[in-house]
Amino acid sequence: MKVILAQPRGFCAGVVRAIEIVERALQKYGPPVYVRHEIVHNKHVVESLKAKGARFVEELSEVPPNSVTIFSAHGVAKSVEDEAAARDLPVLNATCPLVTKVHNQGKRYVGQGRKLILIGHAGHPEVEGTMGQISAPVILVQNEAEVAKLDLPADTPVAYVTQTTLSVDDTQGIISALQRRFKDIVGPETRDICYATQNRQSAVRELSKLVDIILVVGATNSSNSNRLREIGSEEGVPSYLIADGSELDPTWFRNAKIVGITAGASAPEVLVEDVIEALRRLNPVDVSQLTGRHETIEFRLPPELTDGGAISRAAENV
């Protein structure tokens, strides 16, 4: 069986930074440190950080007084920042800088007096964080049908921003529908779909031309991993989202001679290797990798973790 790996795949710069923030916080302040929400959507990553002393909570009320608290890569609502400030918790913010950029764009548009439309998926923590960062009401739109149902006059000044991990094509369709619906509409010059999402989606399209089946390594609650699986299917290749090698179903490979593998932005390479090992147990495999795009983006860590400075209390940041 031939196995072709997509390039790029797996960890993006935002995920690398978020994990490093937790690891460095554990080294610097000692366990436990408290992380609000899964730091990134991957059970393997969460379990390995738990083993080092990180504790994951859904609400700040679960964090004991004075405990080091980390916000996840998806970002948080202003109310969460305010709650941390009211409790004077020492906070490290692992929100991906590209998500923060979307927050700032949204605030700017609202400041210009525009109605803000967020293109994204209801219930995703990034969407909840972005909606909760904007002081005015934000309208969430998930698809083109919802654009048609918007109860706003056509001459309303509107602006849109998007969740960072959607499919480029889906977003384009919704933006075009919004542009047909509203006369006075603005959006960011380059769409907010982040570089890592875009690169992984292009790579899976390339991969789909060469393979009989696509395996996407990632979590079911990972938005960008789900999009990769959808794109593989749209390209006509049977595509499966799996957490690791244990989820392989041998019946998938009955007619497959060439298997493509990619991984979502929150899936570590060790899980790709685990899938290859599981394939090896079914058949001898010959592994190659597409040339693809080389990514060099890195995001700076918070200064508290690099300069030896004291951790800031949340109250100083709001």
Interface contacts to ligand SF4, rule CB under 6 A: 12-15, 73, 96, 98-99, 164-165, 194, 196-197, 224, 265
For ligand SF4, the nearest residue by Cβ is 14
**Which residue from 99, 92, 152 is spatially nearest to 125, judged by alpha carbons?**
99
Could you list the beta-strand ranges (E) of 168-257. 185-186, 213-217, 239-242
Task: Using the minimum distance from each CB to ligand SF4, give the nearer residue, 230 or 245.
Answer: 230
**Would residue 126 show up in a list of annotated catalytic residues for this protein?**
yes
Euclidean distance between CA atoms 221 and 218, whole angstroms: 9
Shortest reach from residue 232's CB to ligand SF4, in Å: 18
Task: Using the minimum distance from each CB to ligand SF4, give the nearer residue, 3 or 165.
Answer: 165
Q: Which of 47, 59, 81, 126 is catalytic?
A: 126
Task: Using the minimum distance from each CB to ligand SF4, give the nearer residue, 164 or 239.
Answer: 164
Shortest reach from residue 152's CB to ligand SF4, in Å: 28
Q: Which residue type occupies 149? A: K
Euclidean distance between CA atoms 185 and 38, whole angstroms: 35
> Tokens 């010959």 appear where?
286
Count CB neighbours of 286 within 10 A. 10
Euclidean distance between CA atoms 232 and 150, whole angstroms: 31
Shortest reach from residue 8's CB to ligand SF4, in Å: 11
Task: Using the minimum distance from each CB to ligand SF4, give the nearer residue, 70 or 185.
Answer: 70
Alpha carbon 86 to its chain's center = 28
Q: Which residue type occupies 52? A: K
Shortest reach from residue 106's CB to ligand SF4, in Å: 15
Q: Based on C-alpha coordinates, what's the Rg of the chain?
A: 21
Shortest reach from residue 14's CB to ligand SF4, in Å: 2
Euclidean distance between CA atoms 298 and 307, whole angstroms: 18
Task: Using the minimum distance from each CB to ligand SF4, give the nearer residue, 14 or 90.
Answer: 14
What is the chain's percent helix, strand, coil content, to nearest 5? Answer: 45, 15, 40
Catalytic residues, which ones? Answer: 126
